[in-house]
A and B are shown apart, each in its own frame.
Chain A
Amino acid sequence: MCLAVPFQVKSIEGDYAHVELSGVSRKVSIMLTPEVTVGDYILVHTGYAIAKIDEAEAQETLKLFDECLKVVETE
């Protein structure tokens, strides 16, 4: 379950952030993730930010794919 989509924080006003993804914008609540700042990418579920996306980990995961595939090539 749980459709949550990555949006970028454009501005913050108290408990709310204005977020944007490919031209779609919405005001979402950051009550569950008060630590987010402008520029962060967050996962939005039903109008609430539920987690901040760890960009470093995102890159690591992409690297992991490459590693998996290097092993295929050497096998």
Chain B
Amino acid sequence: MKFLDEYRDPELAKRLVERIHSHSFHGLRLMEFCGGHTVAIMKYGLRQLLFPQVELLSGPGCPVCVTANADIDKAIALAKKPEIILTTFGDMLKVPGSYSSLQKVRADGGDVRIVYSAQDALAIAQGNPDKKIVFLGIGFETTAPTIAASILEAKNRKIKNYYVLSLHKLCPPVIKALLDSGEIKLDGIILPGHVSAIIGSYPYEFIPRDYGIGGVVAGFEPLDILLTVEMLIAQIENRKPTIEIAYRRGVKPEGNKKAREIMETVFEITEANWRGLGRVLASGLTLKREYQDFNAEASFVLEAIPAKEPDGCVCGEILRGIKTPLNCKLFGSYCTPEQPVGPCMVSSEGSCAAYYLYGGENNGR
């Protein structure tokens, strides 16, 4: 597969790992903020290969994991309404809210459908004119423009029964919130790949400027991540923290202007509620006033039920990188992929699921 296989060459990977090991330091702490990187690192065993020279930490980069229970509860409440077909990406089906999950609602007769694309949700809306189709909008800046595009398309095609529950979040603000918390010391940041394809690299300039550490935008293949680590090490050795792009075939410094325009046409920035971090200013997206007809929160009455966090779940601390799944009392016993307690175990790129499915004793910790 072109543009994939070349970046998975095991020979090149082995030699890049040797090169990383040839540097004279120990225990560099690099954090990634992208669930896709969490999965790739686990799948290819990179954490194990780079330890102990480099310690790879996982931050709050999984949009499923950072969705607060109160927001999942909203989606569940919508799915229970008989006039609604709730369409969602597969990632969200099993995530437990305070009292239930979309999977349980489906088992109880709610119309919950998994789609690959917002395009498919639009098609369902067209095919079911007597129903209201709500799309569960999760994801960061990679996904938000696609949802915005679907709303514009719905408007142009006069599709009147399509709504979006926007739980979209923004990446740079959460990186800042984490760095501000001072809870963990980092030596560098592995920046998200596809979020950056949209926003470019300029929004990360505050990281070296205000925190004195560098960041490199990484692709998702093993060679991409190893190259990124090598570039961060070079920055640290030369004491020149800066923002660079390793994933140059997919990311330009200026990002995708058209995608941002579309996103900004439909969405505006708002405060958002992050699992593990609480409320973070200017870190989420909500539909603008002129698109309220498509806003699920404005169009349906939802009973306000107080959200509840599960006892003993430390997803929040895991998301902040201050604990690992192995520090959680529930991990592997009460909380497993079959019976998840928190979202970090459900999402295939949640730290807990990644540790459980890929880690075992080989996760380098």
Contact = CB atoms under 8 A, between A and B. Distances in A.
Interface of A: 1-6, 8, 15, 21-22, 29, 31-35, 41, 43, 45-48, 50-51, 53-55, 57-58, 60-62, 64-65, 68-69, 71-72, 75
A36 to B, nearest CB: 11
A68 B230 contact: yes
B6 interface: yes
Nearest to A73: B15
Contacts of A62: 6
Contacts of A3: 36
Contact of B256 (A50, A65, A68, A69): A50
A29 B149 contact: yes
Contacts of A43: 194, 197, 250
B69 interface: no
Contacts of A71: 19
Contacts of A46: 89, 116-118, 143, 146
Contacts of A60: 248
A2 B16 contact: no
Given A4-B250, A53-B249, 5 more contacts: A2-B35, A54-B252, A61-B7, A61-B227, A69-B12
B214 interface: no
B238 interface: no
Contacts of B195: 1-2
A1 B349 contact: yes
B118 A47 contact: yes
A41 to B, nearest CB: 6
A33 B252 CA distance: 14
Contacts of A72: 15, 18-19, 22
Contacts of B142: 1-2, 4, 45, 50
A3 B251 CA distance: 15
Contact of B262 (A6, A32, A69): A32
The residue in A55, A65, A69 that gathers the most chain B C-beta atoms within 10 A of its C-beta is A65
Interface string B63-95: 100000000000000000000000001000000
B153 interface: yes
Interface string B97-118: 0000000000000000000111
A50 B62 contact: no
A32 B3 contact: no
B119 to A, nearest CB: 5
A2 B256 contact: no
A57 B224 CA distance: 13
A68 B34 CA distance: 25
Contact of B248 (A21, A29, A35, A57): A57
A54 B248 contact: yes
